[in-house]
Amino acid sequence: MSPLRTDLDAGRALAHLRSADAELGRLIDAVGPFRLELAVEPSTFASLAEAIIYQQLSPKAAATIFGRFCALFDGAGGCPAPERVLAAGDETLRAAGISGPKLRALRDLAERSVAGEVPTLEEAGAMGDEAIVARLTEVRGIGRWTAEMFLIFTLGRPDVLPAADYGLRRGFQVTFVKPALPSPAEVAERGVWWAPYRTVASWYLWRALEIAV
């Protein structure tokens, strides 16, 4: 893991959020320093392949399967290149515990990566957030939430609000004392106040449940 990209001034972000939303400011004070870390990924393919395998699984189970997936390719040094995934047979990949739908998603991701349809990390760095979301969600098995996680945890984009994320919505409910789980639209509406640091606000909302008693 590496620190959030250095061009984000955490002090300025927190000052803005406290000024824009006093209730969020109280959460910030309760949680403490902003400590979001980025995953160090060798490629967009590696980041998204891991995300696909982790979908709808507990972190422990997903880590086991992802480890088996990487181990299928001796000498690959972690997640294999898309060309190696395309060359592997279905039974080989299934032996790692990868389900049929995820297998098809991985193959589509690999095919699009080889064809140049999935932006490299360097190419993504020069693209806007919504352009990246549009490109990534063309891949089978990758929805907006997965694309947003890529923006936050791989690229370190500062102004991403995954309003449909359940954990974030629960944190919002606790922080703003809502009687029911807020809708993504309600989260997004308040999130306008937090721009251009909605990633920072999101991180604090995820932490809200950890400090709630």
pLDDT digits (tens, 9 = 90+) for 16-45: 999 999 999 999 999 999 999 888 888 999
Q: CATH number of the domain at 2-37+159-211, out of 3.30.2010.20, 1.10.1670.40, 1.10.260.40, 1.10.10.10?
A: 1.10.1670.40
Active site residues: 165
| pLDDT tens for each residue of 130-160 | 999 999 999 999 999 999 999 999 999 999 9
The Cα 51–Cα 45 span in angstroms is: 10
CA distances to 53, 88, 107, 117, 129 from 95, rounded to whole Å, are 14, 11, 15, 28, 36
Question: 44-153: same fold as 2-37+159-211?
Answer: no
Residue type, 167: G
Decide: pTM greater than 0.75. Answer: yes
The Cα 205–Cα 100 span in angstroms is: 34
User: Greater confidence, 20 or 211?
Assistant: 20
Is residue 82 reached through a cis peptide bond, with omega within 30 degrees of 0 on the bond before it? no
Report whether pLDDT(202) > 90: yes
Q: Give one word for 141, left, alpha or beta, with left for phi > 0 and alpha for psi -120 to 50.
A: left
Report whether pLDDT(79) > 90: no
Report whether pLDDT(60) > 80: yes
Q: How confident is the model at residue 109 (pLDDT cuts 50, 70, 90)?
A: very high
* CATH number at 44-153: 1.10.340.30
Residue 16 CB neighbours (<10 A)? 18
